[in-house]
Amino acid sequence: MKRGLVIGKFMPLHHGHIALINFAAGRCDELIVSMSYTDHDAIDPDLRLDWIKSVFTDPKIKIAKIKDDFDNESLALEERTALWAPVMKRTYPPIAVVFSSEPYGEPFARHLQAEHIAFDPDRTIVPVSATKIRNHPFQYWDRIPVVVRPYFVKKICFYGAESTGKSTLAIRMAEHYHTEFVPEVARELLITNDFTVEDIITIGNAHAQRIEEKLKTANKLLFCDTDAITTQIYSKYYLNAVPEVLYALEANVKYDLYFLMDIDVPWIEDGLRDLGHKRQEMTSIFKEALEQRNIPYITVSGDFQQREATVRRAIDRLLKD
């Protein structure tokens, strides 16, 4: 059996890695893809491993994770790869060929007593690197696999008291930036403000689930109408209680940008809203909740055109950065 080896951090997996692994798999009977990790990686190792496994389902491709506690980056490649080889020999079955696009490939293969086959060392087939993607993901969006893209999607929250244009802006911005939005799920589940703790938990979970679903198809940005903090605020106001699960949901979903909506627009009755007389009080509560958490925000005020302009300027800066 001719067994090959591809090593890497895959932080993140990108189309260059995929091309390398497919190239290698076509030239051996079994291919080991060895993903190295440390306790301080910028991207969670288990998440990276899941990305690789979801892309490569061919049983001849064996995907493994190995803790990188044997490297010494201060050494030259000849000495560094001499440290890698014995660990690989102890960890994996005999390797006949090493496939790589990197300068380490040749000395590493030699220390393994294996053949080395280079793939696209000049990066002409897929001109990208994991470092470039981590630093500027939107510039290399087309070279990021679909399964990896949700990790880099920026989540934008429209936040604040009722009847301030959050829903309209979420829809409008999704249309403008050709992406997805998450509606205020509570409005799909409630017909009155007479609800229970169980109802509020259902709303919180449903909103979080909708975010996960929309992240899979979002194009760089995901616009969200409200968040878990909002659910907590209304739970406290109407029920005088906040289920612990709402705090867990808040911790699980972090937003990259908050827009706090001002109340300098008319309040509109819609059958569910009933806090028109407490708009200033509720706005203060919403604002205080962000400031207690040290969450930065941009205040959005003025008529609808002014609000949209404020949001678009901030989003354009985010995309450029």
Percent of the chain surpassing pLDDT 70: 94
Helix (H, G, I), strand (E, B) or coil at 63: strand
- Beta carbons of 93 and 2 less than 8 angstroms apart: no
Closest CA to 210 of 193, 228, 195, 198: 228
* Rounded Cα–Cα distance for residues 126 and 19 (Å): 8
Residue 206 has pLDDT above 80, yes or no: yes
Q: What is the pLDDT of residues 157-190, one digit of tens each?
A: 999 988 888 999 999 999 999 999 999 887 675 5
- Beta carbons of 223 and 182 less than 8 angstroms apart: yes
Listed range (127-136, 170-179, 208-217, 272-281) with the worst mean pLDDT: 272-281
Angle at 134 between CA 317 and CA 294, to 5 degrees: 55
Region 227-253 average pLDDT: 94
Percent of the chain surpassing pLDDT 90: 82
So what's the pLDDT on residue 185? 80
* Rounded Cα–Cα distance for residues 148 and 43 (Å): 11
So what's the pLDDT on residue 276? 47
On whether the 3-147 domain is CATH 3.40.190.10, my answer is no
For the chain, the domains span 3-147, 153-319
Region 78-92 average pLDDT: 96
Residue 43 has pLDDT above 70, yes or no: yes
Amino acid at 286: F
> Cα 187 from chain centroid?
26
Average pLDDT of the chain to the nearest whole number: 93
Task: State the distance between the two ends of the chain, measured CA to CA, in whole angstroms.
Answer: 49
Which stretches within the chain are classed as H helix?
A: 15-25, 45-55, 77-91, 105-111, 130-135, 149-152, 166-176, 186-189, 197-215, 228-239, 244-252, 279-292, 304-320
Q: What are the CA-CA distances from residue 24 to residues 2, 98, 144 (Å)?
A: 11, 9, 20
Q: Which two tokens stand for residue 260?
A: 């706090």
Confidence of residue 194 (pLDDT cuts 50, 70, 90): low
The pTM of the full predicted model, rounded to 2 decimals, is: 0.91
Helix (H, G, I), strand (E, B) or coil at 137: helix
Residue 39 has pLDDT above 70, yes or no: yes
170: left (phi over 0), alpha (psi -120 to 50) or beta: alpha
So what's the pLDDT on residue 273? 47
Residue 321 has pLDDT above 80, yes or no: no
Confidence of residue 264 (pLDDT cuts 50, 70, 90): confident
- Beta carbons of 189 and 202 less than 8 angstroms apart: yes
So what's the pLDDT on residue 123? 86
Paired residues of 8 in beta bridges: 35
CATH architecture of the domain with residue range 153-319: 3-Layer(aba) Sandwich (3.40)
Region 98-113 average pLDDT: 96
Paired residues of 62 in beta bridges: 32
Q: What is the pLDDT of residues 271-294, one digit of tens each?
A: 554 454 578 898 999 999 999 999
Residue 20 has pLDDT above 70, yes or no: yes
Residue 10 has pLDDT above 60, yes or no: yes
Closest CA to 173 of 66, 300, 74: 300
> The tokens 């001109």 sit on which residue?
127
